[in-house]
Every structure is written in structure tokens, then in C-alpha cells.
Amino acid sequence: MKNEPVLSARGVSKAFGPTRALIDVDIDVYKGEVRGLIGENGSGKSTFSSIIAGAQGADSGEFTLNGEKYSPKNMVDAQNKGVSMIIQEMGTISKINVASNIFAGRLDQFKKHGLLDSKSMIAAANKVLEEIGAGDIKAEMLIDRLNFEDRKIVEIARAYVTNPDLLIVDETTTALAEKGRRIIYSIINRMYEEGKAVLFISHDLDELMSVCNTVTVLRDGQVVDTLDKDKMSVDAMRSLMVGRELQGSYYRSDYDGSFSDEVVLEAHQVSLNPSLENVDITLHKGEILGIGGLSSCGMHELGRVLFGIDKPVTGYVCLTGKNVTVKSSSLAVKHKMAYVSKDRDKEAIILNATIMNNIALPSLKNISKARVFIPKASEKRMAQKQIETFSIKCRNASQLVKELSGGNKQKVVFSKWLAKESDIFILDCPTRGIDVGVKATMYKLMMDLKKMGKSIIMISEELVELIGMSDRIIILKNGIIRKEFQRSKDLKEQDIIPHII
């Protein structure tokens, strides 16, 4: 089957203004193959996959699918031809039920005499959900009632129901906890056994090693190399992605977990139904405090409470040095707190605004004249400084954020808080969905902030990241603090896992 390509791409190029996203890309994806597609943010992998999936067209080049010319008009047309895609960010349609989301764009099959047979559609959707192992999600439920992961699982069902010859998984697993990953891995195994093909995009190199049997590396829009299973290694992939040898870990090399005795933030007996119960936390000046657990343990909700987005049912959050109770996010920003949301595109940035507008947003009161007039020159200087500091890949400060890669979007998120000169940073999964190069940048920034006496709360679902970066680690389970660990070279994942599950 390896000699029979499901998809062939020849000479595919794509540009966005002066930025060349893809340059003469040639790739074959064969039957019975799970092919990884990797590269730094901005390398072109998501652009390539979106063209295959019908989300946009190529400027030049051609595709064949199962030996026939392939040029999808849109994503529904691509699905009908045998190509389905699951994206990283949210892709469900609000205000309709689960069944309508699963069969979006393909409702005609349930129409009788011009009317939609909702009963048949719901029954078919429930059958699909049961088949992939998500029977707890009911087809008649309104999609808005589901949490982030379950909505992603609905998207997986939508891709699966078309019985595709090629499934594209674009950084989806980074947004999923154990349940969602189990479902998607099961579907990938099924497609492999049936001699179909999967194009798997992920920044988790260990995951690529375990899931894929071939990996193609893109760098600056061009194919650098393709590695078969026997030549795949984490170090080899890192080196090919960034164009230089990268050895070892990006985490802190020191095991000095010291910080100031000065407490800058305190959460006292914080409860939030049903997520948190009587949580006490102290954050010190110059400390990186890690908070971990399962995705549903309450850690993400805790981050929102600490920043004043959600109000606790009991307890309070206080900036101790300033004797200020954090009652709102605007008050938090005023007192130099920063928050990086796990849901970047929805909560951390304004996609349809420019890079300059996003970076300047928290600082508008500082740069405005008499709180009325905002000098464009000041905005531009602020944005340009951050673009240069973070090496944000963009045309200029006036480019829309939605046009950037995931890693460059995350750089914009961090930039706006650095421009604000924040003192306390609450980072919720700050490295989700970004490549190893950008991760290295984020980790270095965190270490620099610590040296400057800034304070960081890092919420993460990755134990290795928590162990690698934190001075202290607090583990939550069912909304309750179960255990606290100090930084140590002897601390291992196995020491923490029993307190999580």
C-alpha cells in the first residue's frame, strides 16, 4: 500500500502579500500512512493543510487525490471528495444542536419533501458518537451547553462521519485532555488498519514519535526533509525544524527554587461552584508558582478568579502589598496584573484587530492624551518595540492578528502585557499549540521575568513543563488542593501522578 498515494501535491505555492507561506511544496501521503507534518510556527504547515481541506486555494501547483485531479471548492466539497480536517481552535457552530454540527453542510441527506427529518438526523448523530466512544454526548443537546473538549469531540465526529480517505489533524490534540486524545488516537489507528491516510500536525515531538510512521518537516514554507520511522528522533526533528542543532531541554537548568519572602498575591478560602472549594494560595515576589492537575480539576477556573474575571462564591483574592482586593479584571490590569488565557483566539487577542491595536490595548490609558486622544505614533512605537523584541513574523504592525501563525499570535499576547510593564503574570497553558522555538522563547522570558522580581502563576496540563519551570507546584483535584511540591532535581512525574488521579 505504501506505493499508492492517497494525496499528491506538486509545486504548491501560496503567498499573503509579500509573505511567502509555501514555496513549491511537493508531498505524497500514502495509503496506510500516518504522516506527521511539522515545523516552527509560520513554517507553512497549517496553510498547506487548509488548502488540502478546501479552506483556501493555492496560488500555484496541483493536487491529485486517489490518482484523480483534486481542487476542492470549499471544505464541504473536500469532505464529499474524501478529505476531512479537524482544526486546533474552536470550529463548532453556536446556537444549534450537536447533530446539526456533525452534519453541517450535509443536511440534504436528511430532507424529505424539502423538510429536515430531525429525528433521523439525531439518531444518525447518536450512532456516530457511540461509535467513536463519545456516547455521553447526546446529539439533541445544544452545542453551547458543552465544554471546550466535548465541542472538539463533536468536530472529530463531524470529520469521522464522512468516512474520509484522508484525515487531517491540525494541532487538535494539544486542546484535548485524556478522553479526547483517546478518541482521536483510536480513529487514527482505525484509518491506518483500513489502509487510509492521516496527516498529523503537532508540536509535541514525543507524540509524533508514538503516533506517526513518517514525518515531513517544513521550514520557511519549504520541505526540508522527510523522515521514515527508523530515522525519526526528537533531536533530529528539532534540528530540522529550526535549522540548527538543539540538544536537551528548554526548561530551567538550575534547581534553585528560591524567591523573596514578600507575598504579592493571596487567595484566601476561594470557592467557585462547582470548580473550586476553599482554595488558599500565596504568590511571592520573584516566584514561578506552577498549578497542575487534570483538565477538569479547577485550575483553569482558578486562573480566571485570580485575575478577577469570575467572582468567587466565598473568599477573596488580594494584592497584599497594595492592600487591594481583586474584584474585576479591569482592576487587575490597573494594578499591573496580566492574564494569558488558554483559549487564545477567543479570549486573549482580538483576531480582527491589528497587531498594534492588540499590543497597545492594555496601555491605552497610559499613552492617551488627557484620556481622550490616543496618539497613533505612540501606539506604533510601542508595537514596533515588541515586534522587534519578540521577533514576531509579520508584514508590519498594521497586519491583522488573524493572519498570523499560532506561535506569533501567542507572542502578541505576551507582548501586550510586557508593554504594560506588568508585575504579576497569570499564564494558563502558555505554550499550548506552539512550536519548540517559540516555547524556548516563552521559557526564557519567564526566567528573565523571575530575575527581574516579577511573579508568575503558570497553569499547565503538562507535568514535565511544571517540573521544569516551577519553584513550587500546587496540585488540584476536584477543586481542592491535594499536594504541594518544591523544586528539586529529584522530582519526577511519578511523584505527582498519584495526587492527580
Q: How many CB atoms lie within 10 A of CB 154?
A: 26
pLDDT at residue 246, rounded to an integer: 47
Identify the band that residue 371 occupies on the pLDDT scale cut at 50, 70 and 90.
low
Between 30 and 498, the more confident residue is: 30
Identify the band that residue 205 occupies on the pLDDT scale cut at 50, 70 and 90.
confident
pLDDT one-digit tens code per residue, 91-138: 788 889 999 999 988 888 888 888 888 999 999 999 999 999 999 999
Is residue 436 pLDDT above 50, yes or no? Answer: yes
Identify the band that residue 370 occupies on the pLDDT scale cut at 50, 70 and 90.
low
pLDDT at residue 243, rounded to an integer: 66
Please compute the mean of the pLDDT values over residues 407-433 and round it to a whole number. Answer: 91
Would you give the distance in Å from CA 324 to the centre of its chain? 33
Distances (CA, A) of 111 to 106, 114, 117, 235: 10, 6, 6, 53
Is residue 253 pLDDT above 90, yes or no? Answer: no
Q: How many CB atoms lie within 10 A of CB 174?
A: 20
pLDDT one-digit tens code per residue, 228-245: 999 999 888 887 876 655
Please compute the mean of the pLDDT values over residues 76-82 and round it to a whole number. Answer: 92
pLDDT at residue 460, rounded to an integer: 92
pLDDT one-digit tens code per residue, 372-418: 567 788 888 999 999 998 888 888 999 999 988 888 899 999 999 99
> What CATH number has the domain spanning 5-242?
3.40.50.300
pLDDT at residue 363, rounded to an integer: 87
Long-range contact pairs involving 222-229 (C-beta distance under 8 Å, separation at least 24): 222/22, 222/23, 222/24, 222/25, 222/44, 223/25, 223/26, 223/27, 224/39
Strands ordered across the beta sheet of 83-86:
83-86, 166-170, 197-201, 33-38, 214-219, 222-228
- Read off the C-alpha cell for 114: 424539502
pLDDT at residue 486, rounded to an integer: 96
Q: How many CB atoms lie within 10 A of CB 71?
A: 15
Is residue 152 pLDDT above 60, yes or no? Answer: yes
What's the CA dihedral at 487, 489, 494, 496 to 10 degrees? 0
pLDDT one-digit tens code per residue, 283-332: 999 999 999 988 778 999 999 999 999 999 999 999 998 889 999 999 99
pLDDT one-digit tens code per residue, 44-73: 888 999 999 999 999 999 999 999 999 999
pLDDT at residue 462, rounded to an integer: 83
The fraction of the chain above a pLDDT of 70, given in percent, is 95
Q: Where are the domains of the chain?
A: 5-242, 249-336+423-501, 346-422
- Among candidates 144, 146, 142, 121, which has minimal Cα distance to 134? 146
Asked whether the domain spanning 249-336+423-501 has the same topology as the one spanning 5-242, the reply is yes
Beta-carbon contacts of 362 under 8 Å, excluding residues fewer than 6 positions away, are 333, 338, 416, 417, 419, 420
Domain over 249-336+423-501 is classified CATH 3.40.50.300: yes
Q: What is the DSSP letter of 354?
A: B
Q: How confident is the prediction for the chain on average, in pLDDT?
A: 89
Please compute the mean of the pLDDT values over residues 490-496 and round it to a whole number. Answer: 89
Q: What's the CA gap between 81 and 70, in Å, rounded?
A: 9
Is residue 365 pLDDT above 90, yes or no? Answer: no
pLDDT one-digit tens code per residue, 445-473: 999 999 999 999 999 988 889 999 999 99
Identity at 26, one-letter amino acid code: D
The fraction of the chain above a pLDDT of 90, given in percent, is 61
- Given a contact cutoff of 8 angstroms between Cβ atoms, the answer to whether 199 and 166 are in contact is yes
